[in-house]
């Protein structure tokens, strides 16, 4: 008999009902960034709270200075998990590029016969959070219980900055603290290969301004003897990397560990085509750190990037000016145990060490974040991998990704690690017109969570 056969059978028999409930939630235009949609955000929160209450959760809509949170609790025999998702969505602009009303979801059949759910929020994040709710429903209806103790937190401001999230976490630590968190806001490798995100790169960054002459100067009069801040800034920034692509800041690689052998083997088995990856954006030569493949450079190595640079005259036409100032925005993606404060301090020191006596530098750092990593053999991760392999028939990719702020918030405030597993695809048009979520992702996502809950329930 298939493990967890009763809830799996229930989920399979009621997939159409699950889809109807998803469509009902997607019809609510819960755009968090626009105050005109505040009542719709409230409506979406209440809809979810009422549904969870009907499933046997103790649920409520919790007010914040912004849009409300949905908080729900259900008892269980196994470990205590906190599931996080968000019910708010991005604006739909440009509306004219949508094939139909963004809040009138539809199931489209493609030329190859596969089907996709189309509408705003299909993938990010209503379809994703719905897979977890429906898995809980399957367990309750088939077994009359949940195999783990579950707390749910649905946020309403993820797409507009999450201003209320950290204050809410601080104010409700005891209520929300669990053994670990589950987050379903990530992607699969492809349509057949599930993904487990075990690492998120951290961030350090900010803005630097080089001050030179006391005013903009005419280059015909001052060109030569006068220091040009743009030239100086570009020289300083150019020295951030050597000709092997390594960052030159002293101590930059402190805390950067070698790639775990099991993780490396998982990546090697993908058959990743680095040439196609670069060709897709019009490039052909990797500019990353020598000695590492494109996948490793993207997922497991730290970076230094210039995100914007300006100064002098930038309007139409031409103006022969030596500017008084030059500006740049800089970011560093961090891995392992790199300290964002230490990295930014090293950058400031790098700039100051290259300044001539008649120039000064001004810095505006942004709040940094450490990288997140989860041991590939941790019991919750291992249980999740077993569940995914049972459902998809192949091992889950152990992937790394960019920053997901809530993961850092949960770690720093609730002192919990997160298991990140999602069923989105890279072509889901997240944040874009005609957002979609493959029906297969939705269907097997529900089944995957049924299995994950069951496997986690066996941990003691």
Determine the pLDDT at residue 369.
86
| Pick from 16, 13, 196: nearest CA to 117 | 16
Q: SS3 of 94, please?
A: coil
Q: Kindly write down the DSSP assignment for every residue of 296-362, as one continuous string.
A: HHHHTS-EEEEEEEEES--SSS---EE-SEEEEEEEEEE-TT--HHHHHHHHHHHHHHT--TT-EEE
Q: Can you read off the two tokens belonging to residue 398?
A: 């152990």
Domains of the chain: 5-200+371-457 (3.40.630.10), 202-256+302-365 (3.30.70.360)
Determine the pLDDT at residue 312.
94
Distance set, CA 126 to CA 22, 49, 122, 184, 403 (Å): 7, 14, 6, 10, 20
Look up tokens 């601080």; give the residue. 170
Cβ distance 131 to 446 under 8 Å? yes
Quote the CA–CA distance of 439 and 127 in Å, as a whole number.
10
Quote the CA–CA distance of 242 and 245 in Å, as a whole number.
5
Q: Kindly write down the DSSP assignment for every residue of 402-417, as one continuous string.
A: S--HHHHHIIIII---
Quote the CA–CA distance of 216 and 213 in Å, as a whole number.
7
Cβ distance 233 to 326 under 8 Å? yes
Quote the CA–CA distance of 42 and 66 in Å, as a whole number.
10
Determine the pLDDT at residue 185.
87
Look up tokens 């000064």; give the residue. 360
Cβ distance 152 to 60 under 8 Å? no
Tens digit of each residue's pLDDT, the chain (460 residues): 478 999 999 999 999 999 999 999 999 999 999 999 999 999 999 999 999 999 999 999 999 999 999 999 999 988 999 999 999 999 999 999 999 999 999 999 999 999 999 999 999 999 999 999 999 999 999 999 999 999 999 999 999 999 999 999 999 999 999 999 999 989 998 999 999 988 889 999 999 999 999 999 999 999 999 999 999 999 999 999 999 999 999 999 999 989 888 888 888 888 889 999 899 889 999 999 999 999 999 988 999 999 999 999 999 999 999 999 999 999 999 999 999 999 999 999 999 999 999 999 999 999 888 898 887 779 999 999 999 999 999 988 888 777 788 998 999 999 999 999 999 998 999 999 999 999 999 999 999 999 999 999 999 7
Cβ distance 138 to 10 under 8 Å? yes
Q: Which residues of 333-342 are buried (b: 16+ CB within 10 A; e: fewer)?
A: bbbbebbbeb
Distance set, CA 272 to CA 245, 280, 281, 293, 402 (Å): 21, 13, 16, 10, 19
Q: Residue 282 phi/psi, 5° resolution? A: 80, 25
Determine the pLDDT at residue 1.
47
Determine the pLDDT at residue 401.
76
Cβ distance 180 to 81 under 8 Å? yes
| Pick from 32, 31, 39, 25: nearest CA to 157 | 32
Indicate if the alpha-carbon torsion angle 75, 459, 4, 397 is positive or negative: positive
Query: Would you call 405 exposed, middle or buried from its count of C-beta atoms within 10 A (0-12, 13-18, 19+)?
Result: middle
| Helix (H) or strand (E) run with residue 363 in it | strand 360-365
Determine the pLDDT at residue 430.
94
Query: Would you call 403 exposed, middle or buried from its count of C-beta atoms within 10 A (0-12, 13-18, 19+)?
Result: middle
Determine the pLDDT at residue 20.
98
Distance set, CA 184 to CA 73, 448, 460 (Å): 18, 12, 23
> CB neighbours of 1 closer than 8 A, spacing ≥ 6?
none
Query: Would you call 143 exposed, middle or buried from its count of C-beta atoms within 10 A (0-12, 13-18, 19+)?
Result: middle
């Amino acid at each position: 008999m298939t493990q967890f056969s009763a809830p799996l059978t229930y989920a399979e028999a009621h997939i159409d009902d699950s889809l109807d409930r998803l469509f009902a939630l997607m019809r609510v235009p819960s755009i968090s960034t626009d105050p005109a949609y505040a009542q719709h955000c409230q409506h979406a929160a209440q809809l979810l709270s009422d549904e969870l209450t009907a499933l046997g959760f103790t649920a409520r809509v919790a007010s914040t200075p912004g849009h409300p949170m949905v908080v729900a609790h259900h008892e269980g025999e196994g470990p205590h998990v906190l599931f996080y998702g968000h019910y708010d969505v991005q604006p739909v602009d440009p509306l004219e590029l949508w094939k139909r009303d963004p809040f009138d979801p539809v199931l489209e059949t493609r030329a190859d016969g596969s089907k996709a759910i189309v509408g705003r929020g299909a993938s990010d994040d209503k379809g994703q959070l719905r897979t977890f709710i429906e898995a809980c429903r399957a367990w309750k209806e088939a077994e009359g219980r949940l195999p783990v103790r579950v707390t749910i937190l649905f946020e309403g401001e993820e797409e507009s900055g999450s201003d209320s999230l950290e204050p809410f976490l601080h104010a409700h630590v005891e209520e929300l603290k669990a053994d670990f968190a589950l987050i379903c806001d990530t992607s699969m490798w492809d349509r057949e290969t599930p993904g487990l995100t075990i690492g998120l790169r951290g961030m350090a960054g900010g803005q630097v301004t080089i001050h030179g002459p006391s005013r903009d100067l005419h280059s015909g009069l001052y060109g030569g003897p006068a220091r040009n801040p743009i030239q100086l800034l570009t020289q300083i920034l150019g020295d951030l990397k050597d000709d092997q692509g390594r960052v030159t800041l002293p101590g930059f690689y402190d805390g950067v560990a070698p790639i775990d052998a099991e993780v490396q083997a998982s990546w090697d088995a993908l058959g990743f085509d680095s040439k196609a990856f670069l060709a897709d954006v019009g490039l052909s030569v990797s500019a990353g750190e020598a000695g590492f493949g494109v996948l490793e450079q993207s997922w497991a190595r730290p970076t230094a990037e210039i995100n914007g640079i300006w100064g002098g005259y930038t309007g139409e036409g031409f103006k022969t000016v030596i500017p008084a100032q030059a500006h740049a925005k800089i970011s560093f993606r961090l891995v392992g145990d790199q300290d964002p404060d230490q990295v930014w301090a090293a950058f400031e020191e790098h700039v100051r060490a290259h300044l001539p006596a008649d120039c000064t530098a001004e810095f505006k750092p942004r709040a940094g974040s450490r990288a997140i990593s989860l041991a590939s053999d941790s019991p919750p991760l291992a249980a999740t991998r077993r569940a995914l392999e049972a459902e998809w028939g192949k091992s889950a990719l152990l992937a790394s990704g960019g920053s997901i702020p809530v993961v850092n918030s949960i770690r720093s405030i609730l002192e919990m690690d997160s298991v990140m597993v999602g069923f989105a695809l890279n072509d889901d048009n997240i944040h874009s017109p005609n957002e979609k979520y493959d029906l297969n992702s939705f269907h097997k996502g529900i089944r995957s969570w049924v299995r994950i809950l069951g496997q986690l329930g066996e941990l003691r």
